[in-house]
């Protein structure tokens, strides 16, 4: 999809459709929309009135021009109420517009951006509109025998305002990179476990490193054992697919800091000997969503080249039942020496992360962020659309939450406390891998991870079990993998690198 910024009078615009965002409160047409209505002899306003179109969020009125303009359609797209307007609504209406364009076989759109977007800077507006168009047009159709190949080919943003077009193009480029990185992540998460296993995941990481010039080290099971990663190895040994520990590094010439991002990398999770029921084993190909998000973030920073050193860590494994699988009551020793008593083999992701976070802590970065489809308890607590955020540093937590408000990737903090810490005390080892009760399960999982992070290093844990995948989709997320939280984490890195002013 191509994007551009233009300044054209509406009677000279050549496109399949000319798009106008409109608020519910705007009862009378103004500016370019008023000019279009005049050129159509008032037909536009008459149709709006006859259809009782109220410009509620996401509603689209498509009006044919019958040759009176150099465009085939005029789209009026509802922004909803000004009182409820936020940046993410622009992503949503952009996605809805692309879907309507595809429905009407219109491949060339011009979006009027002279609307006052209620305090949203025009640069952020075009970035959000770009992201929404790309994210909303995503479809994982790789394995269909028959495909709908029609696509929206180009979107131009039309403005008569005195703005720096080159600056707008920079933000369009940023939005394009972020959205395409998120779609890249979606593709990886949507692939089944018979296509992406531990070996294939490591190869994809190596290909990414080769493409963008990253450093990479992939450790095999012998090397993993030598590093003392007993928790991670225990999870992996039940599978025929051997574990692979991936360490990617992006190292610019000038660096404003050093961050480690860690992704939970279960290529498939059967539950192990505590095997899941069929309903809960369904979609467990998505248990690699955190790991795939790491690769998505690296794809974005490979394109943008910010001045910050970034490490990406993934302990890739499969959790399968077999004669070699680890068992309930086993006692494991993690890389940092902490011993773990296994209460349930289906609480495996935190065991792989235990060694990954221990390894990350040894790098002595400025901060560690992990992303994991860790607990069903987080979905129960916050629903399917919101990620849970925990950690040992409130300033870092606030930083991530503030960015997520702008990216539209919903997140909410869950509190650590000593009473819940008591629930992961084990009878015969340093820590249990599950809480002694079912209550507060998302938090006890976070508290377990805390044991493997150097307390001097600011750390945030993001439980993406809910929003990483959805069977029907919402807003600009089609059904399947969402790619959350690629845009939030990449934006965090860009801000740390002073890339965004």
Supply φ then ψ for residue 19, to 5 degrees.
-110, 130
Across the strands, what pairs with 263?
Answer: 314, 371
* CATH code of the domain containing 118: 3.40.220.10
For residues 213 and 267, state if they share a domain.
yes
206: number of Cβ within 10 Å: 15
If asked whether residues 29 and 126 sit together in one domain, one would say yes
User: Is it true that the peptide bond before 289 is cis, omega within 30 degrees of 0?
Assistant: no
Q: How many domains does the chain have?
A: 2
Query: Is 145 part of a structural domain of the chain?
Result: yes
Residue 173: inside a domain: no
Instruction: Tell me if 398 is assigned to some domain.
Output: yes
CA 413 to centroid of chain Cα atoms: 17
Mean pLDDT of each 10-residue bin along the chain, 501 residues long: 95 96 92 93 94 94 94 97 96 97 96 92 97 97 90 95 92 98 98 98 98 98 98 98 98 96 98 95 96 98 98 98 97 98 98 98 98 97 98 98 98 97 96 95 98 98 98 95 98 94 63
Q: Within a domain: residue 99?
A: yes
Q: Are residues 146 and 215 in the same domain?
A: no
Question: Which CATH number characterizes residue 285's domain?
Answer: 3.40.630.10
Shared-domain flag, residues 61 and 97:
yes
Q: In 3D, which of 24, 25, 28 has the Cα closest to residue 44?
A: 28
Note whether residue 386 is domain-resident: yes
Are 32 and 97 contained in the same domain?
yes
Domain residues for the domain of 128 are 2-158
Give me the residues paired with residue 5 across strands. 157
Integer Cα distance of 448 and 337 in angstroms: 14
User: Which residues face 75 on adjacent strands?
Assistant: 19, 62
User: Which residue reads 């009176």 in tokens?
Assistant: 68
Using CA of residue 155, residue 488, residue 413, residue 437, what is the dihedral sign? positive
Spatial CA neighbour of 488 closest among 389, 394, 392: 389
- Same domain for 310 and 221: yes
The full 3-state SS of 437-476, as one line of letters, equals CCCCHHHHHHHHHHCCCCCCCCEEEEECCCCCEECCCECC
- Whether 166 maps to a domain, the answer reads no
Helix (H, G, I), strand (E, B) or coil at 392: coil
- Model pLDDT, residue 501: 63
- Is the domain of 326 the same as that of 455? yes
User: 197 with 272, same domain?
Assistant: yes
Farthest-apart Cα atoms in the chain, separation: 82
Q: Which two tokens stand for residue 123?
A: 């640069």
What is residue 227's predicted lDDT score, i.e. its pLDDT? 98
Cβ 261 vs Cβ 248: under 8 Å:
no
pLDDT of the residue at 321 = 97
Does residue 172 belong to any structural domain of this protein?
no
Shared-domain flag, residues 272 and 408: yes
Are 360 and 282 contained in the same domain? yes
By annotation, the residues acting in catalysis are 276, 350
What pLDDT does residue 162 have? Answer: 86
Residue 352 domain-assigned? yes
The Cα–Cα gap between 325 and 235 comes to 7
pLDDT at 418: 95
Same domain? For 135 and 220 the reply is no
150 & 240 share domain: no
User: pLDDT per residue over 419-442, tens digit each?
Assistant: 999 999 999 999 999 999 989 999
Q: What is d(CA 478, CA 481) in angstroms, rounded to the nearest whole number?
A: 8
Picking from 142, 236, 256, the residue whose alpha carbon sits closest to that of residue 189 is 142
């Amino acid at each position: 999809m191509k994007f551009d910024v233009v300044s054209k009078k509406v009677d000279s615009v050549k496109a399949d459709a000319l798009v106008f965002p409109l608020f519910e409160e705007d009862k009378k047409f103004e500016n370019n929309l008023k000019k279009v209505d005049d050129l159509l002899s008032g037909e536009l306003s008459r149709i709006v009135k006859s259809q009782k179109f109220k410009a509620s969020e996401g509603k689209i009125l498509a009006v044919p021009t019958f040759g009176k303009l150099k465009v085939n359609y005029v789209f009026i797209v509802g922004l909803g109420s000004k009182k409820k307007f936020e940046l993410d609504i622009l992503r949503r209406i952009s996605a809805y517009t692309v879907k309507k364009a595809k429905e009407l076989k219109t491949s060339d759109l011009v979006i009027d951006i002279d609307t006052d977007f209620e305090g949203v800077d025009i640069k952020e507006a075009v970035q959000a509109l770009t992201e929404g168009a790309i994210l909303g047009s995503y479809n994982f159709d790789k394995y269909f025998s028959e495909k709908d190949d029609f696509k929206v080919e180009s979107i131009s943003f039309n403005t008569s305002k005195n703005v720096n077009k080159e600056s707008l193009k920079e933000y369009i480029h940023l939005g394009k990179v972020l959205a395409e990185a998120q779609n890249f992540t979606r593709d990886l998460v949507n692939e089944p476990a018979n296509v992406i296993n531990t070996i294939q995941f490591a190869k994809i990481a190596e290909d990414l490193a080769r493409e963008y010039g990253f450093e990479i080290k992939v450790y095999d099971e012998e090397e993993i054992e030598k590093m003392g990663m007993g928790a991670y190895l225990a999870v992996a040994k039940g599978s025929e697919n051997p574990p692979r520990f991936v360490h990617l590094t992006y190292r610019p010439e000038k660096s404003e800091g050093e961050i480690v991002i860690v992704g939970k990398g279960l290529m498939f999770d059967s539950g192990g000997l505590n095997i899941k029921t069929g309903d809960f084993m369904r979609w467990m190909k998505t248990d690699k969503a955190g790991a795939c998000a790491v690769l998505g973030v690296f794809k974005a920073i490979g394109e943008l080249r910010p001045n910050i050193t970034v490490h990406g860590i993934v302990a890739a494994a499969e959790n399968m039942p077999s004669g070699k699988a680890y068992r309930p009551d086993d006692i494991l020793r993690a890389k940092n020496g902490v011993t773990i008593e296994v209460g349930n083999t289906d609480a495996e992701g935190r065991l792989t992360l235990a060694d990954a976070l221990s390894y990350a802590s040894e790098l002595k970065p400025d901060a560690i962020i992990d992303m994991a489809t860790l607990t069903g308890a987080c979905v129960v607590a916050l629903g399917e659309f919101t990620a849970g955020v925990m950690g040992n540093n409130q300033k870092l937590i606030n930083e991530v939450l503030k960015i997520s408000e702008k990216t539209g990737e919903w997140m909410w903090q869950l509190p650590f406390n000593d009473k819940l810490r008591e629930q992961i005390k084990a009878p015969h080892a340093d820590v249990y891998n599950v809480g002694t009760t079912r209550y507060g399960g998302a938090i006890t999982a976070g508290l377990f991870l805390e044991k493997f992070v150097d307390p001097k290093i600011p750390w945030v844990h993001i439980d993406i079990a809910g929003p990483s995948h959805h069977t029907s989709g919402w807003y600009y997320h089609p059904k399947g993998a969402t790619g959350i939280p690629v845009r939030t984490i990449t934006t965090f890195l860009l801000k740390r690198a002073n890339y965004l002013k």
